[in-house]
Chain A
Amino acid sequence: MLSNGRMDRNDHAAIQAVLAGDKEAYGALVVRHSQTLFRVAYRITGNEADAEDVVQEAFLRGYRKLEGFESRANFGTWIYRIAVHCALDKVKHRRGDETKVAGRVGDTTDPELDQVQVADEAAGPERMLLSGEIGELQLAALQSLTPTERTAFVLRHMEDRTTAEIGAALGIDPNAAKQAVFRAVQKMRRRLAPLRVAT
């Protein structure tokens, strides 16, 4: 396993080679970072096929923007952010499609009551508990979040990213990222409350 410093040097050497006309050098970057991107993409999209699409799209976008990549930056962090963007786009797009097809209201926050209106999933909490599908309930809770909240929560809770990093990845102010995490945690707790009562 390569150390981070060594990997950075290798990444930068590969980028220089790509920009000098050696397209194949990008293959090394793809091989090196694919697993990480797949993991975060899967956590955000919650879907294997979508996650694979996101990984490919991220590397394609990365290649096109490679000339704008600053040599001081870390390629891993940079491509990670691109992947988060792609995953977020994917979730937003998918959510738009679902709304169009089913005419379903996914989730909206009533600003006056600050209450979350969660779409009624096919399987209720009790049924999921009875069938031992706690993981599915958690997944449903995650899916009840808005794409931005969900991404912010995944990055904070599962990827251990700071709010500054989340803000940078989502292209929003760190304070807005902090608020997104806060809202996501509130919704998740509310959504998972029946699980605690049952256990």
Chain B
Amino acid sequence: MKHVTEEEMIAHLYGESENTAAVEKHLAGCDACAQAFAELKRDLGDVDRVEAPARDADYGERVWAAIAPSLPVYEARRRWWASGWMKGLGYAAACALLAACAFYAGRVWEQRQQPPMAHAAPKTPPAKQPIVVVVLDDHLDRSERFLVQLKHADVDPAQMATPLRDEARSLLTANRVCRKNLGQADDPELSTALDHLDRLLAEAANEPGGLNAQAITKLQDEMNADGLLFEVRVLRSRVMDKKAAIGHASKGGTI
């Protein structure tokens, strides 16, 4: 074996030699290495262990008292089924189930509401009905757009909303025609909505000082109080369904 290096001697001294037996054997037979090892042992033996100043028995308590106020409390560990992703999955499943139930209930309700096939077609369909429905649909469509404009109108206090007033006047005329045509129809919801609309349109069209910011705010309040826009939307949706049914029937469909 070659002479033992200083690095190997240090490892050997600290009991971490990779080949302890070979190093010991060499040291036993090599005076130079044995002397070098003895010197190393002596030198390191002279290096005392640094003794830390004694801490009293309460030292740990003092350390704890010093750091405790700055430590936050850990939240209790959650169970695996209560962990974030499992909760999310649970919510998703619940939503899907709810949607499926709603869909199924809707289908069942629709079937129950539908009259039997034999009674589906009216015995004597009124000749005027399709025309009235189409006109009413157009009128409600215009009214809805007017109400939306009115709802979001943001007029400068110094200016007048002239286009809005002109549209109100035009709609007022159309609304009265519709009311007259539907006079005999047995549809209280439609009649009430058209009455409300008539009142609002009349105010908008004939506002004494013109349709200024103040007048618009007043009309918006009235409109919101009556829920007029919602009412018109519901009616329009109903009329559109009716219109579609008429169109389908006129093509010879059986629903």
Interface residues of A in 164-199 (CB under 8 A from B): 178, 181-182, 185-186, 188-189, 192, 195-196
Contact assessment for B64 and A27 in the assembled complex, using a CB-CB cutoff below 8 Å = yes
Q: For the complex, is B43 an interface residue (Cβ under 8 Å from A)?
A: yes
The contact string, 1 if C-beta is below 8 Å from chain A, for chain B 57-76, is 00111011011101111111
How many chain B residues touch A (CB < 8 A): the figure is 33
Contact for B60 among A30, A60, A142, A186, CB less than 8 A: A30
Q: For the complex, is B52 an interface residue (Cβ under 8 Å from A)?
A: yes
Contact for A60 among B46, B50, B52, B70, CB less than 8 A: B70
Q: Which residues of A contact B10 (CB under 8 A)?
A: 181-182, 185
Contact for A34 among B44, B53, B63, B71, CB less than 8 A: B63
How far is A142 from B50 in the complex, measured between Cα atoms in Å?
10
Q: Which residues of B contact A42 (CB under 8 A)?
A: 50, 52-53
Interface residues of A in 150-167 (CB under 8 A from B): 154, 156-158, 162-163
Contact assessment for A156 and B14 in the assembled complex, using a CB-CB cutoff below 8 Å = yes
Q: Which residues of B contact A56 (CB under 8 A)?
A: 63, 66-67
Contact assessment for A21 and B75 in the assembled complex, using a CB-CB cutoff below 8 Å = yes
How far is A34 from B58 in the complex, measured between Cα atoms in Å?
10
Contact for B64 among A21, A31, A67, A182, CB less than 8 A: A31
Q: Which residues of A contact B64 (CB under 8 A)?
A: 26-27, 30-31
How far is A182 from B11 in the complex, measured between Cα atoms in Å?
8
Contact assessment for B73 and A23 in the assembled complex, using a CB-CB cutoff below 8 Å = yes
Contact for A48 among B7, B53, B66, B75, CB less than 8 A: B53
Name the residue of chain B whose CB is nearest to the CB of A30.
Answer: B64
B residues near A, CB below 8 A? Answer: 6-7, 10-11, 14, 16, 40, 43-44, 46-50, 52-53, 55, 59-61, 63-64, 66-68, 70-77
Instruction: Identify 28 residue pairs between A and B in the complex whose beta-carbon atoms are under 8 Å apart, listed by A's number.
Output: A20-B76, A24-B68, A32-B60, A33-B60, A34-B55, A34-B60, A38-B55, A38-B59, A52-B63, A55-B63, A56-B66, A63-B67, A63-B71, A67-B74, A139-B50, A142-B50, A154-B50, A157-B49, A158-B49, A178-B11, A181-B14, A185-B10, A185-B40, A188-B43, A188-B44, A189-B44, A192-B47, A196-B46
List 16 additional contacts besides A42-B50, A189-B44, A192-B43; criterion CB under 8 Å.
Answer: A19-B74, A19-B76, A20-B74, A21-B75, A24-B68, A30-B63, A32-B60, A34-B55, A34-B59, A138-B47, A139-B50, A141-B47, A178-B7, A182-B7, A188-B44, A189-B40
Q: Which 3 A-B pairs have the closest CB atoms?
A: A31-B60, A42-B52, A34-B60
A residues near B, CB below 8 A? Answer: 18-21, 23-24, 26-27, 30-35, 38-39, 42-43, 46, 48, 51-52, 55-56, 59-60, 63, 66-67, 135, 138-139, 141-142, 154, 156-158, 162-163, 178, 181-182, 185-186, 188-189, 192, 195-196
